[in-house]
Amino acid sequence: MLSKQWLIESLKKHGIVDVAPLQAAGVDEQNFIFALRRHKYVVQDEFFKELANTLGLPFIQGDRIERKSELAITLPYTTLHDNLLVPLELSDSTLRIATANPLNTRFFKVLEEIFHAQVEVYVAPTDAIERAVGRGYREMHRHRALRDLRYRRPDESAYLVLYPWQRHIIIGSSLLVAVLFVLNYPLSFIVVFAAINLVYFCVNPVKFYIAFRAFKGSRRSVKVTHEDLRKIDDKSLPEYTILIPIYREAKVLPHIVENVSKLDYPRDKLDVKILMEEKDEETIREAQRLGLFGKPETVLARIIKLRADHAGQETLSLVPCMRVIDSEATTIGTLDGVVAQNGPEEILTVKCKSGRVIEIPEAFVDSANDVIILRGTLRDLQAQYLNSLNVFDAVVVPDAEITTKPRACNYGLLRAKGEYCVIYDAEDDPEPDQLYKVAIAFSRAGRDCDCLQSRLNCYNP
């Protein structure tokens, strides 16, 4: 068994500098890899290769795991996802698995008891395991997102649009009106308008009754003060899954990322799922450009939280087309413009030699005289950007005959990790402390409270 200190030193060797969260007393060798994922670390494949070599275990590439993803459904989705493993092969005497946590020996013993087989372990990167689990459950989750309510509670499902008796009444009434129109068309109009007015006459009392019941209800609300927010302990906070269904809204995707990034809540307790339809190629391309899939083509500096040291620093003198270089004197591009933000920080837009435009926060600029010199390399800025993105999980919802936002939310809910679930629309701009307030409100609400609605301010253009 490797020591916790060996794992920390190996991480440092592979580019992870801030390891303070991993040194907590509750993190040991068996849950070390789980802590890496919980704290949203982006770990290189070389770390897992070295881990496999040190343990004397084979390392397996991500593409080989994905070919075996159909075996994922042999175990529950949450079991695979929580333990970071994928079954590769099952025989009478052997269960081969790929896992990102080969130190999880306690769970391997459980698998041996369940399958009555010897467990053979292959080591793989975390992201490869998660992709394989997602692909393995793709079709099952696609089917459940669309039809689960129909099977579970058919009386609450709108899958059946018309009951047979409703269909017979509509067809019969239409035929009678058609016959009446041929025989006496003025009378047919009188009958049709009389029927419409009769329906309105019957429906209006029902509307008044519903409105009366609503006003008579408790109309419960929970108020949270600043003092309540100061007293809250971050360790006791629940994990939130945030579902953001979007469809053909590529232009607002950067604003979604920015607005969610402004939330003042522990990042290791956020599971943000941006739900995109499979056929919405424009939005998927924008997600790829931002880095929600793969390597980013830009840097969205508005979501990077840098600590600026403005003490004694003169106001930067910025002129369009100034050359921008990093701390290693490598030319990044030329200044394209400056975007003022709500706070004191400004964002520099820089046009690179390749033609793409990236954003650089003012706090990342060291000096600006004849040229703009950055405090670090572009790689450093991109690393901080990627670290800011690791709270997001871009989910492509498989295509189906119905492509609605509720179906997308159903699909995301099947993969949710959080204790609480939040749904934001694409244009929502939540208050930074909203999730804190909701956690407090739920703790004060009764056991019969399953859902809270935040008050809405319709000011967002």
Give 355 or 244, the one with higher predicted confidence.
Answer: 244
Contacts of 430 (CB under 8 A, 6+ apart): 259, 263, 424, 454
Judgement on whether residues 21 and 48 belong to the same structural domain of the protein: yes
Residues 33 and 100 both lie in one domain: yes
Domain count, the chain: 4
List the CATH number of the domain containing 347: 2.30.30.240
Name the phi and psi angles at 418, rounded to 5.
Answer: -80, 160
Q: Are residues 130 and 24 in the same domain?
A: yes
pLDDT at 202 over 50: yes
Do 351 and 251 belong to one domain? no
pLDDT in the model for residue 426: 87
Answer yes or no: do 198 and 285 share one domain.
Answer: no
Question: What is the per-residue pLDDT across 367-383, written as a single tens digit (0 to 9) for each?
Answer: 888 899 998 888 888 87
Any idea which of 76-80, 275-279, 318-322 has the lowest mean pLDDT?
Answer: 318-322
Same domain, 55 and 171: no
Edge-to-edge strand order for the sheet containing 357-361? 357-361, 346-352, 331-340, 323-325, 372-374, 365-368
DSSP bridge partners of 340:
346
- Calpha distance 17→8 (Å, rounded): 10
Report pLDDT for 252.
92
Higher confidence at residue 456 or residue 116?
116
* 452 falls within a domain: no
Mean pLDDT of 104-128: 93
For helices 138-152 and 126-136, give the axis angle rounded to 10 degrees. Answer: 50
243 pLDDT band, cuts 50/70/90, is very high
* Res. 311: pLDDT tops 50: no
Specify if 34 maps to a domain. yes
Say whether both 205 and 84 belong to one domain.
Answer: no
| 368 in the same domain as 349 | yes
Give the mean pLDDT of 276-304. Answer: 89
- Does 32 share its domain with 120? yes
Domain-embedded: residue 378: yes
Question: In 3D, which of 329, 382, 389 has the Cα closest to residue 360?
Answer: 382
**What pLDDT, on a 0 to 100 scale, did the predictor assign at position 386?**
81
Q: Among 17-21, 216-220, 355-359, which stretch is predicted with the lowest mean pLDDT? A: 216-220
Q: 399: domain CATH number?
A: 3.90.550.10
Tokens 């056991």, located at residue: 447
> Is 395 contained in some domain?
yes
Tokens of 19: 């390891």
Cα distance between residue 299 and residue 349, in whole Å = 10
In the chain, what is the straight-line distance between the N-terminal and C-terminal CA atoms, in Å? Answer: 57
Q: Does 128 lie in the same domain as 93?
A: yes
pLDDT digits (tens, 9 = 90+) for 147-175: 898 888 988 888 788 888 999 999 999 99
Identify the pLDDT of residue 241. 96
- Answer whether residue 174 is part of any domain: yes
- The answer to whether residue 333 scores a pLDDT higher than 80 is yes
Determine what percent of the chain is predicted with pLDDT higher than 70. 95
Mean of all residue pLDDT scores within the chain: 87
Question: Which pLDDT score is estimated for 219?
Answer: 65
pLDDT digit string, tens, across residues 34-79 = 988 877 777 889 999 999 999 999 999 888 887 878 888 889 998 9
**pLDDT score of 191 more than 60:** yes
**Can you give the residue range of the structural domain that contains 264?**
238-299+389-429
Report residue 396's pLDDT band, with 50, 70 and 90 as the boundaries. very high
Instruction: Please state, for a pLDDT cut of 90, what percent of the chain lies above it.
Output: 45
Residue 315 has pLDDT above 70, yes or no: no
pLDDT at 312 over 60: no
- Asked whether residue 373 falls in the same domain as residue 396, the answer is no
**14 belongs to a structural domain:** yes
CB distance 350 to 322 below 8 Å: no
**Residue type (1 letter), 34:** F
When pLDDT is cut at 50, 70 and 90, the band that residue 248 belongs to is: very high
Q: Are 331 and 323 in contact (CB under 8 A)?
A: yes
Query: Does 305 fall in a domain?
Result: no
- Same structural domain for residues 8 and 49? yes
What does the radius of gyration of the chain's CA atoms come to, in whole angstroms? 28
266 contacts: CB under 8 Å, gap ≥ 6: 234, 237
Task: Summarize pLDDT for 417-438 with one digit per residue, the tens.
Answer: 899 999 999 888 899 999 999 9
**309 inside domain:** no
Higher pLDDT, 315 or 81: 81
pLDDT of residue 432: 92
Q: What's the whole-number mean pLDDT along residues 192-212?
A: 91
